Amino acid sequence: MKALSIEGLWEVTPQQHQDARGRFMEWYRFDHLAEAVGHPLDLRQANLAVSSLGVVRGIHFADVPPGQAKFVTCPAGAVLDVIVDMREGSPTFGRWEAVRLDGDTRKAVYISEGLGHGYCALTDEATVAYLCSAVYAPERERAVHPMDPDLNIDWPALGEPLLSERDSGAPTLKQLGEEGQLPDYNACRRFTAGLDAAAAAKGASG
């Protein structure tokens, strides 16, 4: 696992084993993730989405606590996965990072609570699978417009992006901040520190 420039964001490159039969890999290991992050992913929900070329999904995040950490991969096709720091007070607030996920490298990203997530399908039938630390709760879900000029995300030039009604009508980052709907950086750190402490206590007890 490799930590990226936004705190709470990791890139994962699995080791693939190939022979005449095909390929095999461990695409998720809870112990390796916990060692890097400080606590295991409390898996509560697994999602899978299949998108057509040019579809943009996101940018989505959830209120913290409890937020929703995600482990995201693309087993078929390809996407440009984009992660945005939504945490007010963070040194990297408003910054975004992009990682290509595809069915060849089988890379994944781990996204901590308080970070926004979205992606653009670079192929037809782009399949994204993600593990989540909390079940979907509409009352806690938020979205920021993926074309927000202040974010200035460098989306691939694939023509007019295909957005859901929710995403096309989503507010900007500035509007969310004015409405008090953005996660607080220190609150996010306290929440993840509590997860770290709980994992350490469990390990110490045996």
Dump the DSSP string for 128-179: EEEEESS---GGGEEE--TT-TTT-------SS-B--HHHHTPPPHHHHHHT
At 204, list the tokens: 């110490």
Given a contact cutoff of 8 angstroms between Cβ atoms, the answer to whether 110 and 33 are in contact is yes
Instruction: Please state, in angstroms and rounded to a whole number, the distance separating the CA atoms of residues 23 and 195.
Output: 35
- The closest alpha carbon to 14, from 3, 24, 22, 4, belongs to 24
Q: What is the pLDDT of residues 120-172, one digit of tens each?
A: 999 999 999 999 999 999 999 999 999 999 999 999 988 889 999 999 999 99
Q: What is the pLDDT of residues 179-199, one digit of tens each?
A: 999 999 999 999 999 999 999
Bigger pLDDT: 204 vs 187: 187
Instruction: Give residue 206's pLDDT band: very low, low, confident or very high (50, 70, 90).
Output: low
Q: What is the pLDDT of residues 19-72, one digit of tens each?
A: 999 999 999 999 999 999 999 999 999 999 999 999 999 999 999 999 999 999
Q: Tell me which residue has tokens 């469990």.
A: 202
Instruction: Give residue 203's pLDDT band: very low, low, confident or very high (50, 70, 90).
Output: confident
Q: What is the pLDDT of residues 96-110, one digit of tens each?
A: 999 999 999 999 999
- 59 three-state secondary structure: strand
pLDDT of residue 160: 87
Q: Tell me the catalytic residues.
A: 60, 130
Mean pLDDT (the chain, rounded): 96
